Structure 1
Amino acid sequence: MIQIRPATLEDIPEITSLFRDTITHINKKHYSEKQINAWSSGADDVEEWKKRIAKFYFIIAEIENNMVGFAYLKNGNYLDGLFVHKDHQRQGVGSKLLRIIESQVMMNDFEVLKSDVNKTALPFFDNKYFEVLKKQNKSINGAGFENYLVEKQL
């Protein structure tokens, strides 16, 4: 059974570990080693994670008190991150996190949820009725990434 709760500062070591592991194991099929290293190095910026937890709607998914995913919402309707543990892919964790995020967006009086999603995650969002607005290039720590701006009408 997947439980959802708010993130706390004490969760940062687990959040950053899950973030790094997901990128290095799941996203490696679509991105180069240089891109993976640049992207996963975001786990090292503890101050940035503290800010996200303090400022954003940031939730954790757990199964039997073990963190299996997290998601955070910025500016009321922008999904800035959704990550599922490498060993818990395709088990409903991402879907449950997304449903909670969508409910929060509607409670914030927005009718649209937007996000920038990577190539690996695009089929998940496509499956959840998100529409691709545009393909774009983004730079993370000096590495270029192709990703997609998507939105969903709620």
Structure 2
Amino acid sequence: MGPRRLQNSLPCDLILRPFAKGDGAASFDVFIDAVRNGTKEHYTAEQRAAWAPVDIMPATWEDRHLATTAFVAESERQLEGFMTLTAEGVIDMAFVRPSAMGTGIAVQLYEKIEAAAHASGMTRLSTQASHLARPFFLRRGWNLLAAQTVQKRGQTLENFRMEKHLGSS
């Protein structure tokens, strides 16, 4: 699969803002939609079900994201995507609704995350990228360290350990 081309334009009413109290349910919905529908070309139905097994948001979901540097992309209709960065420099979650893929939303979220990393003095970022996310990160100067397999609820999924060294601010 070659580079993803922008297929649509950004929603004209798109707002990028920090993740806030009350964003939990909408971000969980983005996560479920992205995993179950957006990764169909890369993971089996059983793998996707193991990755996103429940329809009910875990009680710790919102607090987990409030404890990170996180941004959301919101249109008038709904939350379209979100991305999180831990204090250790890990991009832990990066999800966009399948209906919004290819619009540039992920790029804008990533630029906010990388700017926040620079502002806080981080010199290195890391992530465990899915098959879908790997080319996105590679196009932004990330290095592929290794493919790895992880176990999720009896399923084996492949993802990729990646890193990016940040220049001085």
Instruction: Report the TM-score when normalising by structure 2.
Output: 0.84
Mean CA deviation greater in 19-28 or 6-15: 6-15
Instruction: For residue 152 of structure 1, report the CA deviation from its aligned partner.
Output: 1.4
User: Hey, which of these two has a bigger chunk of helix by percent?
Assistant: 1
Distance (whole Å) between structure 2 residues aligned to residue 66 and residue 44 of structure 1: 18
CA distances 1:102-124 after superposition (whole Å, capped 9, x unpaired): 01111121111111001111111
- In the TM superposition, 1:58-77 aligns within 5 A as 58-64=70-76, 66-77=78-89
- In the TM superposition, 1:76-87 aligns within 5 A as 76-87=88-99
Mean CA deviation greater in 92-101 or 125-134: 125-134
- In the TM superposition, 1:1-154 aligns within 5 A as 1=12, 2-41=14-53, 44-64=56-76, 66-154=78-166
User: Hey, which of these two has a bigger chunk of strand by percent?
Assistant: 1
Structure with larger Rg: 2
Distance (whole Å) between structure 1 residues aligned to residue 99 and residue 89 of structure 2: 28
CA distances 1:13-49 after superposition (whole Å, capped 9, x unpaired): 2111111111111111111111100111266342231
Instruction: Report the TM-score when normalising by structure 1.
Output: 0.91
Supply the RMSD in Å over aligned alpha carbons: 1.6
Q: Give 4+ residue runs of structure 1 displaced > 6 Å after superposition.
A: none
Runs of 5+ in structure 2 lacking a partner?
Answer: 1-11
Runs of 5+ in structure 1 lacking a partner?
Answer: none
Percent of paired sites with the same residue: 25
CA distances 1:44-97 after superposition (whole Å, capped 9, x unpaired): 342231231231112111123631100111124110011011111011100000
Contact 1:72 1:80 in 2 (8 A): yes
Mean CA deviation greater in 84-93 or 40-49: 40-49
